[in-house]
């Protein structure tokens, strides 16, 4: 890569409004991850959240997590978040097998 091209690329990277979002993912320094047909890069917060779900919600609260951790209402909450993506109104699209 020529010095001018590298300089221009670094300028564009420095001005990129989305650049700060890179820190939200578990990526090695210098990695460029462009795989569009996979789960994508691991969001950095997910391992800690998974550990909490497994150890506290499932391991300690057990059946109480249906109420105390909001498992019971998860299909509705998730459905409301994806509703705009699929063109549905809030409350009109539930995830999982509850309602389509």
| Tens digits of residue pLDDT in 57-83 | 999 999 999 999 999 999 999 999 999
* Assigned domain for 5 exists: no
* Assigned domain for 20 exists: no
Q: How many structural domains comprise the chain?
A: 1
Is-contact 41 27, C-beta < 8 A? Answer: yes
Percent of the chain with pLDDT over 90: 63
User: Does the pLDDT at position 95 exceed 70?
Assistant: no
More confident residue, 82 or 92: 82
* Assigned domain for 62 exists: yes
* Assigned domain for 72 exists: yes
* Assigned domain for 34 exists: no
Domain range enclosing 58? 46-86
- DSSP 8-state assignment for residue 25: B
* Assigned domain for 79 exists: yes
User: Does the pLDDT at position 97 exceed 60?
Assistant: no
| pLDDT tier for residue 1 given thresholds of 50, 70 and 90 | confident
User: Does the pLDDT at position 96 exceed 60?
Assistant: no
* Assigned domain for 78 exists: yes
More confident residue, 96 or 3: 3
* Assigned domain for 68 exists: yes
Token output for 100: 């389509």
Round to whole Å and give the CA distance between 60 and 52. Answer: 10
Q: How confident is the model at residue 33, as a pLDDT?
A: 86
Is-contact 14 8, C-beta < 8 A? Answer: no
Q: How confident is the model at residue 44, as a pLDDT?
A: 96
């Amino acid at each position: 890569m020529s010095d001018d091209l590298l300089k221009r690329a670094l300028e564009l990277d420095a001005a990129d409004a989305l650049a700060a979002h890179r820190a939200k993912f578990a990526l090695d320094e210098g990695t460029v991850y462009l795989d569009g047909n996979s789960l994508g890069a691991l969001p950095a917060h997910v391992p800690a959240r998974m550990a909490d779900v497994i150890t506290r919600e499932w391991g300690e609260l057990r059946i109480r997590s249906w109420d105390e951790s909001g498992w019971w209402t998860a299909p509705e909450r998730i459905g409301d978040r994806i509703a705009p993506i699929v063109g549905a109104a809030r409350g009109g699209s539930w995830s999982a097998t509850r309602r389509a």
